[in-house]
């Protein structure tokens, strides 16, 4: 069987520990290239995973390498344009969550998927844990009867992105923990319940502590600097 040619767009931590680490263990996949505007970051991962070609421009990488499949491991505002461009080129896409910044962009991505008949997957990895497999089966086999109410949450006090990076800039990220972490639980709840049709939706976010430097726990971001306009 001919191996799938795989390339990665983005050279950050999620590209390293999740995507490249995973695809490097798949026998039917050959990692052919990586791209990132930060050439040194791309070179570090290329050396770590024995990737032969490094680019700063993902479009040039698409043209030269002609991968069958890519991962999109970039800041959120780039998810839609990179995914759409890849599918236009006949490339299948594994995109990090969230799918895009908003519903309009998400619809454009799905339209491209259908138009170019490509496979597109969002990296909602919590669906594939042993716990999720068990819960899905438990519900499907009727052990807990009809589900009429679900409550979920995620309490996290460490790992909050610091000011100065794209995570806390709504224009670049689309939002704070609701779009970064909340998508996992929204996905799981809908998946477990068989995607019920919503009759109404209400939501609220809260931002009170953005001026507190105690939130800045990521060392690469300068404490007190940059934009913080997310919840």
88-112 confidence digits (pLDDT tens): 999 999 999 999 999 999 999 999 9
Which CATH class name applies to 4-123? Answer: alpha beta
pLDDT digits (tens, 9 = 90+) for 21-63: 999 999 999 999 999 999 999 999 999 999 999 999 999 999 9
pTM: 0.91
Cα atoms in the 13 Å half-sphere on the side-chain side of 125: 10
The answer to whether residues 71 and 94 touch, using CB atoms and an 8 Å cutoff, is yes
- The candidate with the shortest Cα–Cα distance to 82, out of 31, 9, 19, is 9
The Cα 231–Cα 213 span in angstroms is 15
- Residue with token string 């290239």: 33
The Cα 17–Cα 162 span in angstroms is 21
Q: Assign 215 a pLDDT band (cuts: 50, 70, 90).
A: low
Domain with CATH 3.40.50.720 in the chain: 4-123
Is 10 a residue whose pLDDT tops 90?
yes
Q: Assign 211 a pLDDT band (cuts: 50, 70, 90).
A: low
């Amino acid at each position: 069987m001919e191996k799938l040619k795989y390339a990665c767009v983005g050279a950050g931590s999620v590209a390293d520990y999740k995507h490249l680490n995973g695809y490097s263990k798949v026998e039917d996949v050959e990692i052919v290239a990586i791209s990132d505007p930060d050439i040194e970051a791309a070179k570090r991962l290329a050396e770590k995973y024995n990737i032969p070609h490094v680019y700063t421009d993902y479009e040039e990488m698409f043209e030269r390498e002609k991968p069958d499949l890519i991962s999109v491991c970039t800041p959120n505002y780039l998810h839609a344009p990179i995914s759409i461009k890849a599918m236009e080129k006949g490339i299948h896409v594994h995109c990090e969550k969230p799918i895009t910044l908003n519903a309009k962009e998400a619809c454009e991505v799905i339209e491209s998927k259908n138009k170019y008949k490509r496979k597109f997957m969002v990296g909602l990895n919590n669906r594939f844990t042993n716990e999720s497999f068990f819960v899905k089966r438990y519900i499907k086999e009727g052990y807990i009867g009809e589900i009429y109410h679900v409550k979920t949450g995620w309490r996290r006090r460490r790992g909050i992105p610091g000011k100065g990076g794209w995570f806390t800039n709504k224009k670049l990220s689309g939002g704070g923990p609701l779009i970064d972490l909340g998508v996992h639980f929204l996905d799981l709840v809908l998946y477990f319940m068989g995607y019920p049709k919503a009759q109404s939706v209400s939501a609220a976010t809260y931002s009170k502590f953005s001026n507190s430097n105690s939130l800045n726990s990521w060392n690469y971001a300068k404490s007190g600097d940059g934009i913080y306009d997310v919840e």
